[in-house]
Amino acid sequence: MGGVLGVLQVLKGEIRGGEDLEGARKKTRPREYDLYDVFCAVLYVVQGGIQWRMLPSDYPKWQSVYYYFRVWSEKDETGVSILDKVLQIEY
């Protein structure tokens, strides 16, 4: 199992990795956007090689997507980011 279905399962918490994405943000204010939409937008930018400001309006605001990208891209003590972990999960 992989692809979008696998990512959806990760974000719903059915597979280990979703907790990492959920817990990466340090604020307590309620989320404005669904993490699945943000994650799809990050994949769109990374895979498409487009500029952040060129993100289609179907996705959350580019500033919010970029914020989550930066949070998820921070390396931990082992040198691996949360985004790397989620994208390398084998199904």
Is the pTM of the predicted complex or chain greater than 0.85? Answer: no
| Choice between 69 and 15, residue whose per-residue pLDDT is larger | 69
Confidence at residue 39, expressed as pLDDT on a 0 to 100 scale:
92
Among the listed residues 25, 24, 2, the one whose alpha carbon sits nearest the alpha carbon of residue 15: 2
- Which letter, b or e, does each residue of 10-46 get, where b requires 16 or more Cβ atoms within 10 Å of its Cβ? bbeeebebbebbeebeeeeeeeeeebbebbbbbebbe
DSSP 53: G
- pLDDT tens figures, 27-86: 667 778 888 999 999 999 998 999 999 999 999 999 999 999 999 999 988 998 888 888
